[in-house]
Amino acid sequence: MNDAGVVDYIVVGAGSAGCAVASRLSESGKYSVALLEAGGSDWNFWVQMPIGYGKAFFDKKLNWMYETEPEPTLNDRVSYCPRGRVLGGSSSINAMVYIRGHQGDFDDWASMGNAGWGWSVVLPYFRKMETDLAKGGDLRGGNGPVAVSGANGNEHKTCHDFIQAGLEFGLSENGDFNGESLMGVGLYQYTISGGRRMSAARAYLRAARRRSNFRVITNALTQKIIFEGGKAVGVYFQKNGHEHEIKAAKEIILSAGAINTPQLLMLSGVGDEKHLREMNIPVQHDLPGVGQHLQDHLCLDFLYKAKVPTLNNELRPWSGRFLAAVKYALARSGSLALGVNQAGGFLKSAPDLTRPDMQLFFSPLSYTKAPEGERPLMSPDPFPGFLLSIQPTKPKSRGYISLNSRDPEQAPKIFPKYLSHPDDLENLMKGARIIREFSRMPSLAAIIEKELEPGDGVQTDHQLEEDIRNRACSVYHPVGSCRMGPDPRLDVVDNHLKVYGVTGLRVVDASIFPTLTSGNTNAPAIMVGEKAADLILADVERLDAPR
């Protein structure tokens, strides 16, 4: 056993929330912080170049590459569950779309018994964390570490056909989905700056690593939390084949994400007592909510062959890829400087709803026959094509995570239980009908040659349902598996993110979300890290104050 010393705070996981909380805790210079990451450096070409996430998506050096258990509701299909294993975590391999969520999402959190998490309280943290290069309104931030940009003219021109179709559909154009309203259609904003991915590592760690009180330990797989008398005092981690121990004078913060955080808690003896005993793990504290309440967005893609050129025409031929690469190398611009979910929006599936319940994605690119284990964003279909996708924003199905082994290197069992609530199937069927209606709008109909998937043969309710069970897929937004809430019998952390039943331990990542936010989850995960740092610092300064 190697002694890695003592610091004030240990943060496990250098992902979206982990980078934020670790950096902020070290900012004053008063407290020492060690940030442990199971993966390695984010200085990887496929990480830094925005469209390169198609490669990082299936790279074991950057990605845990988890899979779910077979899902009966999806005709026993196994779903892919990518999670970043690299500095920046999943913010280093995601599609970079930046969406805060609906204001009501956070008021919902507060109404569920989580005081201090309503919209008016979390908004200052969203503003604090971002520099809005897209220049939105007063709700946006101006000098934060996370640079958020618009498409900057790099979007494909078919995106504007999509937006025009949205206007014909009865929606308004929205120039800032992170502004006053989420409703409407428009171009998405991204965690991209200067043509490079703005991961949480780039945003927070570049400055933090220059501080003498801040340590980043990469390729460090945390194995177990060390408890003494019910207090978390350190962790064991493995690096280069050797086991190390590091102690925390104040607190340990778990920021390993919605899959790995509950796994680590269970490996450390915090979880459902029955399951822990089945795994022959000594019980530190019986906390049944660990691993429960797992939520994820499920979407449906419609694939169209186009009458006009799309990104396929640019990125399929070698000559097009070469020209795109030259443009990117010289000016950090063009198609390689952007993701492929370039436009989209939010709408209501029924007029009496008080907020949007569906999210749209428009990708001016298609890859019909992707080889197993590949997402060929730079080698798309040989014909012009595009994807139009829809996801219900508030699924009601709840899954869970359990251990498969006592070995932290072995993947846990993931049971999303997609469509286990009947409303979720009905909402996806509504979504399919919306896509069909949207595609008939004149501006889109004018550029569509044929619907390839699901195709004209899928029309009846029964056919739509079977298509959903055969093709609906995750949007890779797992949250909720260490849910924040007021009931220790059901929840895992309180509204200060402290783990129930033990001391010296908090969870700070998307696993604490009481419910999914409306849209992509990276931005709210970073916000959780920002707010958590203030909660932690307020607590320690109160304890350290003279009496």
Mapped onto helix, strand or coil, the DSSP state of residue 393 is coil
- Closest Cα to residue 304, out of 201, 408, 446? 446
Helices 461-471 and 422-439: crossing angle, nearest 10°? 100
- Taking CA atoms, 222 is separated from 12, 50, 107, 260, 343, in Å, by 7, 29, 34, 10, 39
Query: Residue 380 corresponds to which tokens in the numbers above?
Result: 């798309």
Strand (E) positions, 336-415? 343-347, 358-363, 385-392, 400-402, 413-415
φ/ψ region of 181 (left if φ > 0, alpha if ψ in -120 to 50, else beta) reads beta
Sign, Cα dihedral of 182, 104, 136, 535:
negative
| H or E segment and range at residue 429 | helix 422-439
Query: Residue 244 corresponds to which tokens in the numbers above?
Result: 């190390």
| H or E segment and range at residue 123 | helix 119-129
C-alpha 190/C-alpha 97 separation (Å) is: 5
| H or E segment and range at residue 419 | none
| H or E segment and range at residue 219 | none
Annotation says 477 is catalytic:
yes
DSSP assignment of 504-524: SEEE-SGGG-SS--SS-SHHH
User: Which residue is catalytic, options 244, 293, 297, 477?
Assistant: 477
Q: How many helices (H) and strands (E) does the chain have?
A: 16, 24
| H or E segment and range at residue 33 | strand 33-36
- Taking CA atoms, 42 is separated from 22, 85, 89, 205, 348, in Å, by 17, 10, 9, 11, 38
- Taking CA atoms, 340 is separated from 54, 114, 371, in Å, by 10, 36, 19
- Closest Cα to residue 266, out of 127, 457, 423, 407? 407
φ, ψ for residue 237 (rounded to 5)?
A: -140, 155
Q: Going by DSSP bridges, is the β-strand pair 343-347/184-187 parallel, antiparallel, or unpaired? A: antiparallel
Burial pattern 424-463, b for ≥16 Cβ within 10 A else e, equals bbebbbbbbebbbebbebebbeebbeebbebeeebeeeee
The residues pairing with 243 across neighbouring beta strands, listed in sequence order, are 238
Secondary structure letter of residue 194 according to DSSP: T
C-alpha 107/C-alpha 88 separation (Å) is: 28
Active site residues: 477
